[in-house]
Amino acid sequence: MPTHLLDKNVARRIVEGLTHPDRLADEEAVALALWRALQGLGNRMFISLETANIMGRFSAWREIRLFLDTVETMYASRYFRRWARRLQEHGFTREDAKVLGLATYGTDAVSQMLGVEVVVTFDQSFINNYQRQRHALERRLRFMTAQLPVPFREAGLPEVIQPIEALLLFGRGLRVH
């Protein structure tokens, strides 16, 4: 089952779309359509612990509860911090490095998986930097993982894409890889 990490802006647009479905902005419409498509396919969706904590403060809102009931929280596992620091050396902002680090070395609540296949973000500069750095990141991750125990040795890089790209791919049941 494909796994997706929704960044905070995608999560926010989904909730905003749920609060006023009759007057959606473009980003809200795309995020909401993706969320519904991924649910329909039974794909696992994750948000960061920080996003879950912020939204949890407003869980009295029906729309936030509805959203939180469909996503899982991703937790940092061992090597997350090390990888996030190395990502900053490649020009990622602290926040983008944390998202990408979580997508590589994050786990679910029961530690049965490591990383996700896809990061969904509206941040085009994050996507552009990732695409420019992809080969260097793959080499650096391979070098780092060669020295690690299983399952951390098997960590891989996710795809980092816009919600519209994810909707086009996964809305049809297609996989990135």
Distance from C-alpha of 138 to C-alpha of 33, rounded to nearest angstrom: 31
Question: Per the confidence metrics, is the pTM higher than 0.85?
Answer: yes
Percent of the chain with pLDDT over 90: 92
Q: Report yes or no on 122 lying in a domain.
A: yes
Query: Helix and strand tally (H, E) in the chain?
Result: 8, 6
Q: Report yes or no on 175 lying in a domain.
A: no
pLDDT at residue 175, as a whole number: 46
Q: Compute, in degrees rounded to 10, the torsion defined by CA atoms 2, 98, 109, 175.
A: 0
Q: Report yes or no on 17 lying in a domain.
A: yes
Low-confidence ranges of the chain (pLDDT < 50): 173-177
pLDDT at residue 6, as a whole number: 98
161: Cβ–Cβ under 8 A, 6 or more apart, which residues? 118, 119, 120, 121, 127, 169, 176
CATH number reported for the structural domain that contains residue 72 in this entry: 3.40.50.1010
Q: Report yes or no on 177 lying in a domain.
A: no
pLDDT at residue 170, as a whole number: 64
Distance from C-alpha of 137 to C-alpha of 63, rounded to nearest angstrom: 37
pLDDT at residue 95, as a whole number: 96
* Burial (Cβ within 10 Å: 0-12, 13-18, ≥19) of residue 148: middle
pLDDT at residue 132, as a whole number: 97
Q: In total, how many domains does the chain have?
A: 1
